Amino acid sequence: MKPGYEGPAIDAVGLVKEFERGRRTTWQRVRRQADQRERFRAVDGIDLRVERGEIFGVLGPNGAGKTTTMKMLATLLEPTAGTARILGYDVVHEARDVRRRMGAVLSDGRSLYWKLTARENLEYFAALYHVPPREQAARIAAALQAVKLDDRSDDYVERYSTGMRQRLVLARALLPDPELMLLDEPTVGLDPQSSRDLRDRVRDLQAQGRTVLLTTHYMEEADQLCDRIAIVDHGHVVALDTPTGLKRTIAATEVVHLEIASSPADAALLSRLEQTAGSVARHERENGDLQVTVHVRSARDFVPVAFDAAREENAAIKHVEVVPVTLEDVFISLTGRALRE
């Protein structure tokens, strides 16, 4: 980090990123016509403070602005407004210093050279990361060992599975021995076992003293891995706390999912459930049935009351499921939508 710098690993204030939709033709440019393209804000004022040594998660659905935020921090995108410092260095004006100290996994195995072996890939990137020649062999060996690819290092990447390629991308990000790791959806497209392996590697990174910023739309992953989580939607942070703290924002300890055969009394039933439980988080029609999600303090107390209410309104409850509160429920309560919509 910057000499004398004592602040957080990441300090982003008011980050904004605006894109234009469509293309401006050369003819329009030559004629100096006003740029009439529609603008949209992928990131709309994000503040992030990530302390050193923590695993910080950014959780949100597709299109929330997570990747755009990551790319701004990784110096691949210039912010439209706002500032961001990585280990004290400004991402716009001191980009090269940022790149020396950061390892990033922002893409999948396509960013590797498939016609080279794993070792050849890492040798090339080690030079690009300015790893001193006398340290290259040791760093490459350590990176391969960290991701458990040391026995396959001389195989061509084209013969790797998807999970192995993703681990090799992580190994590449470790070459500069970075204090900060940016991981953008690192487990997307991986099978459960590979995902678990990768999460173990992320925990190892923290154990080594590194700071990790990761984005994901898998709430279980965020829940398991992260010390703190920022929930992002439509380009801004809607909540930020530890996983436990976020779940406490819902005045409930359990979530009850009800599947109710549709009837003319749906509205009345919903109203009764609202009065009983205090929080109908979500309701929607699916295949002709009414799906209702309710946040409760005690399912044991709520369920019999729900059945009574349904009977009185001549509705039939077909299925009941009781689960603990998850981050998905937090997201639904904040945004009214599910993470996977």
Partner 1 sequence: MTASPATFSATTPSRWDDLRADLRAFGAAGVKEWRLLRRYPSLFIGFLFWPIALPLAYVFQAQGYSGGQPAALDAFAQRTGTAEVAGFLFLGWAAYMWISMILWGPGTSLRTEQVRGSLEALFMTPVSRMVILFGPVVSQIVWAIWMFAVVGGVLVLFFRVPIGPIEAIRALGVILVAVPALYGLGALFAAVVLRFGEVSAMVQTVRGVFTVFCGMTFPIIILPVWAKAVALSLPPTYLIGDLRAVLLQGSDFVSLVPELAILATMGLVLCGFAIVAFRRTERFARRGGSLAQY
| Binding stretches for partner 1 (CB under 8 A) | 19-20, 53, 68, 71, 74-78, 96-97, 99-102, 104, 106-108, 110-113, 115-116, 120, 123-130, 132-133, 135, 142-143, 146, 172, 174, 176-179, 208-210
State how far the alpha carbon of 292 is from the alpha carbons of 192, 298, 307, 333, in Å: 29, 16, 13, 13
Helices (H) and strands (E) in the chain, counts: 12, 14
Structural tokens at position 333 = 């309560």
Q: Please provide the DSSP assignment of 7-20 as one string.
A: S-SEEEEEEEEEEE
Output the smallest distance, CB 92 to partner 1, in A.
9
CA separation for the pair 56, 52 (Å, rounded): 10
Full 3-state SS string of 116-135: CEHHHHHHHHHHHCCCCHHH
* Shorter beta-carbon distance to partner 1: residue 39 or 340: 39
Number of C-beta neighbours around residue 229 at 10 A? 27
- Residue for token pair 């919509």: 341
Number of C-beta neighbours around residue 304 at 10 A? 9
State how far the alpha carbon of 67 is from the alpha carbons of 78, 123, 260, in Å: 13, 27, 38
Output the smallest distance, CB 180 to partner 1, in A.
9
Non-local CB neighbours of 110 within 8 Å, separated by 6+ positions: none
Output the smallest distance, CB 90 to partner 1, in A.
14
* Shorter beta-carbon distance to partner 1: residue 107 or 298: 107
* Shorter beta-carbon distance to partner 1: residue 115 or 285: 115
- The C-alpha torsion from 70 through 76 and 82 to 86, rounded to 10°, is 70
* Shorter beta-carbon distance to partner 1: residue 159 or 285: 159
State how far the alpha carbon of 259 is from the alpha carbons of 269, 282, 327, in Å: 13, 12, 21
Output the smallest distance, CB 204 to partner 1, in A.
8
* Shorter beta-carbon distance to partner 1: residue 132 or 288: 132
- Provide the CB-side half-sphere exposure for 178 (13 A, CA): 31
Inter-residue contact 185 to 215 (CB < 8 Å): yes
Output the smallest distance, CB 212 to partner 1, in A.
13
Output the smallest distance, CB 11 to partner 1, in A.
18
Output the smallest distance, CB 211 to partner 1, in A.
10
Inter-residue contact 86 to 10 (CB < 8 Å): yes
Output the smallest distance, CB 80 to partner 1, in A.
8
Q: Is 312 helix (H, G, I), strand (E, B) or coil?
A: helix
Output the smallest distance, CB 294 to partner 1, in A.
41
* Shorter beta-carbon distance to partner 1: residue 26 or 193: 26
